[in-house]
Amino acid sequence: MQTLITLEEVRSLRQQWTKENHKVAFVPTMGALHDGHLSLMLQARKLADVVIASIFVNPKQFGPSEDFSKYPRTLQDDTTKLNRVGVDAVFLPNAADIYPEGFQTMVTNREMANALCGLSRPGHFDGVLTVVAKLFNLVQPHISLFGKKDYQQWRLIETMVRDLGMSVEVVGCDITREPDGLAMSSRNRYLTPEQREQASAIYRALTATKSLRTQGEKAIERLLAQFKNELAKTPALQLEYAEIREKFTLRGPPFQLDKPSVLLVAAKIGATRLIDNIELD
Ligand code: AMP
């Protein structure tokens, strides 16, 4: 696996891949890699000839009181894992190259970002979209893979690609879960053993609501009430939001529940914020 640090190194490898006529897949990450990240790499290998991953803890997507400085950084372990799953190159940019002196241009979404996680994390998605746009420009992938774990992020990136005419295909990948259903996340390592056990209640509540939906319940209020009742059985989980939204646009009700929809949730346990979701159709 090649390790690339400078923008020049990325451009030069990209040119070589063009000459070799390779289909290029790109998976951006912030490192602290787990099996959820690796599932994206494995799927990328199936869909393209070469796979490039990036690891960059993007300062612009963290709020002033968020965990940027203590976000887990496990570079050596990460590169070993990427190598093992057959990634061809990893890009480890310096912040000064991504955000050079005088940096002043951002990508902003004016609609979908103003809901769900965007409410409690102002500016977060601007930071995400800006860094992903920059990485797309550098890497020029044919396809790029994102986890449905960050459902709103995935839909925002699809929207950016459509709105700005970027020539990359965005692929959403299924959520990888722990055996008890907790969605894998780099932040799960913040949880104490007790919190870790309590956190699995999120997925239990999500699946209970999905089965109510599968049994034919159509009223959004009743589905949400059932989800909240189920989650309330674990008082350690402080619900930030639970919403049912149209699956492609993430628009909220009123909409026909025969349209594909998704139940999205954010909850805090202690100081750790967890997100998860389940498609209801
Ligand atoms: P992050 O390092 O948190 O920025 O995540 C990098 C990519 O991995 C994003 O597209 C995430 O949605 C995806 N990802 C993170 N956790 C999971 C998971 N449990 N299952 C599937 N994809 C995931």
Overall pTM > 0.75 = yes
Mark the ranges of the chain whose per-residue pLDDT is less than 70. 257
Token reading at 247: 């699956």
Residue 142 CA to ligand 1 centre (angstroms): 19
| Residues 90/55, Cβ–Cβ less than 8 Å | yes
Please indicate whether residue 37 is annotated as part of the active site: yes
The confidence score (pLDDT) of residue 255 equals 77
| Residues 219/230, Cβ–Cβ less than 8 Å | no
Taking every pair of C-alpha atoms in the chain, what is the biggest distance, in angstroms? 58
Pocket residues: Cβ below 6 A from ligand 1: 29-30, 36-37, 39-40, 146-147, 149-150, 173, 175-176, 183-186
Residue 240 CA to ligand 1 centre (angstroms): 20
Measured CA to CA in angstroms, residue 68 lies from 30, 71, 95, 215 at distances of 11, 5, 13, 43
- Segments in the chain forming alpha helices (H): 7-19, 35-47, 75-84, 95-98, 117-120, 124-139, 151-163, 193-199, 201-214, 220-232
55: nearest Cα among 66, 102, 40: 40
CA 2 to CA 271: how far, in whole Å? 37
Residue 154 CA to ligand 1 centre (angstroms): 10
242-277 pLDDT, tens digit per residue, is 999 999 999 998 877 678 999 999 999 999 999 999
Q: Pick the residue whose CA is nearest to atom 17 on ligand 1.
A: 36
Which of the residues 22, 37, 124, 142 is marked catalytic?
37
SS3 content of the chain, % helix, strand, coil (to 5): 45, 20, 35
Residue to mutate, 26, 33, 35, 37, ligand 1, most ligand atoms under 8 Å from C-beta:
37
82-120 pLDDT, tens digit per residue, is 999 999 999 999 999 999 999 999 999 999 999 999 999
Residue to mutate, 68, 144, 150, 202, ligand 1, most ligand atoms under 8 Å from C-beta:
150
DSSP β-ladder status, 272-279 and 261-269: antiparallel
| Residues 139/100, Cβ–Cβ less than 8 Å | no
The confidence score (pLDDT) of residue 154 equals 99
Transcribe 111-170 into DSSP letters.
SGGGSTHHHHSTTHHHHHHHHHHHHHHHH--SEEEEEGGGHHHHHHHHHHHHHTT---EE
The percentage of residues in the chain with a pLDDT greater than 70, rounded to a whole number, is 99
Nearest ligand 1 atom to alpha carbon 40: 22
The confidence score (pLDDT) of residue 281 equals 84
Q: What angle do CA 3, 6, 7 make, to 5 degrees?
A: 115
Residue 102 CA to ligand 1 centre (angstroms): 30
